């Protein structure tokens, strides 16, 4: 349970896996939701603290500069809808994690790089994504019985601070070495939920592909190694149980 609660990636998938491996799968869900909520709520404040009000103003200007859906021509709008619809089955066919996000993202990136389409960020969809993600995180947290989970909530907060602090220090070091903007590097590495962090990158006007690529690699590595780690953990628990029973 501790292992699944601390794994930095793929919260939806880890929560699903935990239902078959531990009795208190809701504890695993709580740990991941607390970490995601902390990242999503704290990152705008970190942006203001690290880069000042100029960066916040630039972010707001980037949001205001986004065109409205009613200002798009019909060809651009149809291209946007086609990418959104076709990206999901392609990702599922290739067995890519987070197919709802990564599929359209990869297809859109490929078509933009090849010069076939040029679709701007659409303000209504950015706002809709913020409302949907904020509502989904809040709804999932509201379903957790906090009275019963008071101790676990404390542990989840401590765990989240340790994990996010470790990733923050790593991102700061890499930012100093590479010259990449610290907040951009932080969003690329911090385990705050692929959907949520990608949206933050979009809001701040950063390179979404850069952020999503790093998270996709991390999630894939987590799930490639997870079966082996779980097998080792289950074997270790079996040995521990045998030793306890012998005494």
The string of pLDDT tens digits covering residues 61-111 is 666 666 777 777 888 888 888 888 888 898 888 877 667 767 887 888 788
Same domain, 7 and 47: yes
Closest by CA position to 171, among listed 180, 158, 162, 161:
180
* Counted domains in the chain: 2
Same domain, 50 and 134: yes
- Give the pLDDT score at 201: 77
Same domain, 111 and 133: no
Same domain, 185 and 111: no
Sole residue written with tokens 């896996």 = 17
Same domain, 10 and 111: no
Residue numbers in the chain where pLDDT is lower than 50: 239, 242-243, 246
Closest by CA position to 196, among listed 143, 141, 123, 132:
132
> How far is 185 from 210, CA to CA, in rounded Å?
9
Number of residues written out for the chain: 247
Q: Quick check: 90 and 166 in contact, CB under 8 A? A: no
- Give the pLDDT score at 30: 81
Residue 89: which domain range?
A: 73-119
Same domain, 57 and 151: yes
Same domain, 162 and 59: yes
- Give the pLDDT score at 243: 43
pTM of full prediction above 0.75 = no
- Give the pLDDT score at 61: 67
Same domain, 56 and 134: yes
Same domain, 108 and 214: no
> How far is 153 from 162, CA to CA, in rounded Å?
14
- Give the pLDDT score at 215: 79
Same domain, 86 and 195: no
Q: Quick check: 69 and 127 in contact, CB under 8 A? A: no
Same domain, 43 and 127: yes
Structure letter (DSSP) for residue 86: H
- Give the pLDDT score at 150: 78
Between the two ends of the chain, the Cα-to-Cα distance in Å is 24
């Amino acid at each position: 349970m501790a292992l699944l609660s601390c794994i930095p990636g793929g919260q939806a998938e880890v929560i699903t896996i935990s239902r078959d491996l531990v009795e208190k799968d809701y504890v695993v869900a709580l740990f991941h939701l607390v970490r995601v909520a902390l990242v999503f709520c704290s990152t705008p404040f970190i942006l203001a603290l690290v880069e000042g009000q100029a960066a916040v103003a630039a972010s707001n200007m980037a949001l205001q500069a986004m065109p409205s859906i009613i200002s798009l021509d019909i060809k651009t709008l149809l291209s946007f809808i086609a990418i959104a619809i076709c990206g999901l089955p392609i990702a599922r066919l290739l067995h890519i994690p987070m197919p709802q996000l990564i599929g359209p993202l990869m297809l859109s990136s490929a078509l933009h790089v090849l010069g076939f389409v040029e679709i701007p960020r659409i303000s209504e969809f950015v706002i809709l994504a913020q409302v949907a993600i904020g509502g989904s995180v809040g709804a999932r947290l509201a379903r957790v019985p906090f009275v019963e989970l008071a101790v676990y909530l404390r542990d989840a907060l401590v765990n989240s601070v340790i994990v996010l602090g470790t990733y923050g220090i790593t991102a700061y070091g890499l930012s100093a070495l590479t010259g990449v903007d610290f907040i951009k590097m932080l969003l690329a590495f911090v385990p705050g939920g692929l959907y949520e962090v990608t949206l933050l990158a979009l809001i701040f006007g950063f390179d979404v592909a850069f952020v999503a690529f790093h998270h996709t690699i991390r999630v894939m590595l987590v799930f490639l190694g997870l079966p082996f780690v779980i097998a080792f953990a289950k074997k270790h628990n079996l040995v521990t149980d045998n030793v306890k029973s012998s005494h």
